[in-house]
């Protein structure tokens, strides 16, 4: 019993240290000290803190506080993604799509995108919808694409709103409806989506 209690104390202490590293890194970022932020995030990342791993990966991806290194970025995104961090899963999926730091692999991208999408990460839901509509990394399925677009669109994602509008305009995966197309185009256009605004113009809608 004492051994179990001691183990939990050590675990709690390690978690507290990792959180402190993340907070220290965030504070350094606020002051524009990217090198210090990288040191703090690395300490937390090496302790296994998913948020620190995510933030360290982002510094490597952007070359802030460390030399830009997509391989290192992908490595740390994966560590955070393996712990279930939705943003890391999304970012890792994007790196697979673009072949940054890892070999381009649309199937792997779709798998990671789904993991993030299933955690209600709107950007991943929008991307997964697009992947189903275009058949990238998955079998093309307009109905499935429409479902993921709708999930993201309901969260206010303008790309998904535009994509859903396109599906309604073309009758793909949903019943064709100009009214629904206009509804979703307008929502996207109100957020500055140029393609949605152009679609409305083509339909003669203000």
Confirm whether 31 is domain-assigned.
no
Q: Which residues contact 206 (CB under 8 A, 6 or more apart)?
A: 200
The DSSP code for 173 is S
Dihedral sign of CA atoms 99, 102, 108, 109 in order = negative
**Domain count across the chain:** 1
Confirm whether 50 is domain-assigned.
no
Confirm whether 133 is domain-assigned.
yes
Q: Which residues contact 3 (CB under 8 A, 6 or more apart)?
A: none
Asked if 38 and 65 touch (Cβ cutoff 8 Å), the reply is yes
Range of the domain at 138: 120-206
Confirm whether 51 is domain-assigned.
no
**Other CB atoms closer than 10 Å to residue 192's CB: what's the count?**
9
Confirm whether 62 is domain-assigned.
no
Q: Which of 3-7, 18-22, 82-86, 180-184 has the lowest mean pLDDT?
A: 3-7
Tens digits of per-residue pLDDT, 94-139? 999 999 999 999 999 999 999 999 999 999 999 999 999 999 999 9
Confirm whether 146 is domain-assigned.
yes
Q: Which residues contact 163 (CB under 8 A, 6 or more apart)?
A: 126, 129, 130, 133, 145, 149, 153
CATH for 201: 1.25.40.10
Tens digits of per-residue pLDDT, 146-167? 999 999 999 999 999 999 999 9
Confirm whether 144 is domain-assigned.
yes
Residue 17 clears pLDDT 60, i.e. is over it: no
Confirm whether 91 is domain-assigned.
no
Q: Which residues contact 52 (CB under 8 A, 6 or more apart)?
A: 18, 21, 22, 25, 40, 41, 42, 43, 44, 45
Q: How confident is the model at residue 23 (pLDDT cuts 50, 70, 90)?
A: confident
Predicted structure pTM score: 0.87
Give the closest residue to 164 by CA, choosing from 206, 120, 133.
Answer: 133
Asked if 44 and 52 touch (Cβ cutoff 8 Å), the reply is yes
């Amino acid at each position: 019993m004492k051994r179990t209690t001691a183990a939990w104390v050590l675990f709690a202490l390690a978690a507290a240290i990792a959180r402190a590293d993340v907070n220290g890194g965030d504070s350094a970022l606020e002051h524009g000290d990217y090198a210090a932020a990288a040191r703090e995030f690395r300490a937390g990342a090496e302790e296994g803190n998913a948020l620190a791993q995510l933030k360290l990966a982002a510094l490597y991806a952007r070359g802030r506080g460390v030399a830009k290194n997509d391989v290192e970025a992908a490595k740390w995104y994966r560590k955070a993604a393996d712990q279930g961090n939705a943003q890391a899963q999304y970012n890792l999926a994007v790196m697979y799509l673009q072949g940054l730091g890892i070999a381009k692999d649309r199937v792997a991208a779709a798998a990671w995108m789904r993991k993030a999408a299933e955690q209600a990460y709107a950007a991943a839901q929008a991307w997964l919808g697009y992947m189903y509509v275009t058949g990238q990394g998955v079998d093309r399925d307009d109905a499935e694409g429409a479902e993921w677009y709708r999930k993201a669109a309901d969260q206010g994602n303008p790309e998904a709103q535009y994509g859903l509008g396109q599906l309604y305009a073309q009758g793909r995966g949903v019943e064709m409806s100009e009214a629904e197309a206009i509804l979703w185009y307008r929502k996207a256009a109100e957020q500055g989506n140029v393609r949605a605004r152009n679609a409305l113009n083509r339909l003669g809608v203000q």
